[in-house]
Amino acid sequence: MSCDFLAMAAPGVRNLMPYQPGKPESELRRELGLSDIIKLASNENPLGPSSAAVQTAAATLSECARYPDGNGHELKAALAAHHGVDAACLTLGNGSNDVLELLARAFCTSADQVLFSDHAFAVYPLVAQAVGAESVVAPASGAGQAMPYGHDLAAMADRISHRTRLIFLANPNNPTGTWIDAATLEAFVSVVPETCLVVVDEAYTQYAASCGVSTALDWLTRFPNLVVTRTFSKAYGLAGLRVGYSVSRPEVADLMNRVRQPFNVNLPAQAAAIAALADASHLARSVELNDVQRARLVESCHERGLSSLPSAANFVCLDMGRDAQPIFQAILRRGVIVRPVANYGLPNHLRVTVGTEPENIRFIQALDEALML
């Protein structure tokens, strides 16, 4: 008799569907036999990491028989100096996804609720369900609003209860690219009970500054229940090494570190993150490229009669005006990987990472051919 492992699983895990990442190039090669492929599906930096980060990471490989610093002392010191905070306020993660999960594990049980918006990052409901907490989904802004399909903070405030333990807010939001202005976000945080943590996910914050999007880090001394998460995967180009972190009150960081797995950020990743943080010129080039190419990509799509959601990130969410899946498949067959977002409740949209100029031109060419089918 076979064992019913599903019945043995924790309640929150039984109906959990794993996160589906963007299709990798290797998979497309196997499926379609293509060799000339560009990937614009996972919001990676098209310039890649800085050369300093690559060289620094490579220099650590001879030491890989040793465990990394489990406390990440040097990386925390660099981050503390960069943000002007005490190192005790920092929690390191294997990417910022890891930090989001640490928050749920440290603060939520089956008696609690986790609040987030419709069309928000798919990891929020995953970490809530995994610990057995109840997900509460607030409706997003309407299609005719200034930030269509973005966070409606009034609707979120209405859904806060005595059971709400975590609120996830992405600024800018993935997959829409929409953002929350500083005054509106600050007013929202100020009315959230201190028994509920407000987690502002700033994965795309470096790209958002040119759109006037402010960081919530400046409010940490005023709001003890505020947590800000960051990543090195996007603008810093270290997605393959998995480095993220959160900034919070030391008491919050202490509790998160109690459930954090030892050595969760590996040796090359810690070294590369320190070097990337110091390479301001590479970050500036990455942001400048994104500013220019995002505007050109939006303009090209608008010329073709396609609308796009406002974006302060390194991607654009395009409205195909019909089911986007056939268009996605047609673009895919032409060796260009983008991201359908039907799983986010946006079946007519495609999310396209902003690439280099040649990559964006290649996407537009594939899009033109797909739209003619």
Identify the pLDDT of residue 296.
Answer: 97
DSSP state for residue 211 in the 8-state scheme:
G
> Of 33, 22, 20, which is closest to residue 335 (Cα–Cα)?
33
List, for residues 296-345, the tens digit of each pLDDT value: 999 999 999 999 999 999 999 999 999 999 999 999 999 999 999 999 99
> Of 214, 243, 211, 212, which is closest to residue 230 (Cα–Cα)?
243
% of residues, the chain, pLDDT over 70 = 100
Residues 6+ positions from 312 with CB-CB distance below 8 Å: 172, 177, 178, 179, 204, 207, 208, 210, 211, 213
List, for residues 135-152, the tens digit of each pLDDT value: 999 999 999 999 999 999
Cα 218 to chain center, whole Å? 20
Segments of the chain assigned to CATH 3.40.640.10:
51-278
Question: Hey, what CATH topology would domain 51-278 get?
Answer: Aspartate Aminotransferase; domain 2 (3.40.640)
Segments of the chain assigned to CATH 3.90.1150.10:
21-43+281-371
List, for residues 73-94, the tens digit of each pLDDT value: 999 999 999 999 999 999 999 9
Domain 21-43+281-371 of CATH type 3.10.180.10: no
Give 1's pLDDT tier (boundaries 50, 70, 90). low
